Copies of this chain bind each other. A is one copy, B any other.
Amino acid sequence: MSGNSFGKIFTLTTFGESHGPAIGGIVDGCPPGLELCEEDMQVDLDRRKPGTSRYTTARREDDAVKILSGVFEGRTTGTSIGLLIQNTDQRSGDYANIKDRFRPGHADYTYTQKYGSRDYRGGGRSSARETAVRVAAGAIAKKYLKQAHGIEIHGFLSQLGPIKIEQVDYAEINNNPFFCPDVSKLDALDEYMRDLKKQGDSIGAKVTVVATNMPVGLGEPVFDRLDADIAHAMMGINAVKGVEMGDGFGVVEQKGSEHRDPLTPQGFASNHSGGVLGGISSGQDLLVSMALKPTSSISVPGETIDVDGNSIEVVTKGRHDPCVGIRAVPIAEAMLALTLMDHLLRHRAQNTGVNCTTPVIPAQVK
């Protein structure tokens, strides 16, 4: 039972490989009447697309998305939305040399064992190329969430290797190629990345996504809690190895008297929980963080085996990101948007008479 669909009510199903003719997807369950055009998606696709700075892969893809259905006279019709993105800059020849070997840290070995064979060109289906479709679909969700509830989603780099972001200014995020909200760190990031490139190595990163203007009430206990579904969404992004809500792993050393967020007539007095209580959104900002591993495609030689089990050395060529965490920012935003959209519709299905937008108290003490 292949897992190429995301969501239960607002769903995205995707197809496509890194070096096939095209990638694409189908968004099903979008409410009718939403104004939608290709430019709405292109903005985020351009943020994710490769080849835009020296810190990302040199592969050039326009990532121009086409809407094939589900929109009529500028508005969604409520029927399924077909999305298509042509692949234009495949250089499959780059991959002939990995046909018979398993790159360490990649999915080559596991895909081959699972399916009996694999599309070795650029990782085939396991390539992050596929995430472009998620970004396109996520843009639809973002637009609806903004219009229906004022919900906004802000993703940013919160750490790259040893460099930790200290100040968060949403206005700066899109002004630099790192999606860094702290201008005081830009020089350090630039320098670090130059050094890394010289070494031919790669580095891990931490990415944070915040949703503001959240309604109270999203999340479906006991299994499909909002945070559980967010964890599923984020851990499903290539290279993610950890997910946190609010204080995350910091809670291990916290006491109850310290962790629990007091409710006051003016709103919650703190946000250790990250905006979720009992698996349901509290109206506070959703705070989600994730850890992304360093890409395994580096020019530092590594030890591996060929398909017959013989020991060999591998040096990954091809065009790769030295820090996959950077371009993960718009992907993480998209996955959060898709998750919230699905939960908004799930909530509506069961709770028509309950107005989740008029909470007893304001979300947060200002």
Residues from 220 to 260 in A contacting B, C-beta threshold 8 Å? 220-225, 227-236, 238, 240-260
Interface: A307 (CB within 8 A): yes
10 closest residue pairs by CB, A with B: A107-B278, A3-B224, A105-B260, A3-B220, A15-B82, A202-B256, A228-B236, A232-B232, A110-B280, A231-B235
**Cβ–Cβ contact A80 & B243, under 8 A:** no
A-B contact pairs, 23 of them (CB 8 A): A2-B78, A3-B219, A3-B220, A3-B224, A5-B5, A9-B9, A9-B350, A15-B68, A15-B69, A16-B68, A22-B68, A77-B119, A109-B263, A113-B217, A126-B222, A223-B236, A232-B232, A256-B295, A256-B300, A258-B294, A265-B305, A265-B310, A305-B360
Q: Which residue of B222, B245, B292, B351 is within 8 Å of A3 (Cβ)?
A: B222
Q: Given the complex, which residues of B lie within 8 Å of A204, measured CB to CB? A: 251-255, 259
Rounded to whole Å, the gap between the CB of A126 and the closest CB of chain B is 4
Q: Given the complex, which residues of B lie within 8 Å of A25, measured CB to CB? A: 26
Q: Given the complex, which residues of B lie within 8 Å of A42, measured CB to CB? A: none
**Cβ–Cβ contact A353 & B31, under 8 A:** yes
Rounded to whole Å, the gap between the CB of A20 and the closest CB of chain B is 5
**Cβ–Cβ contact B361 & A206, under 8 A:** no
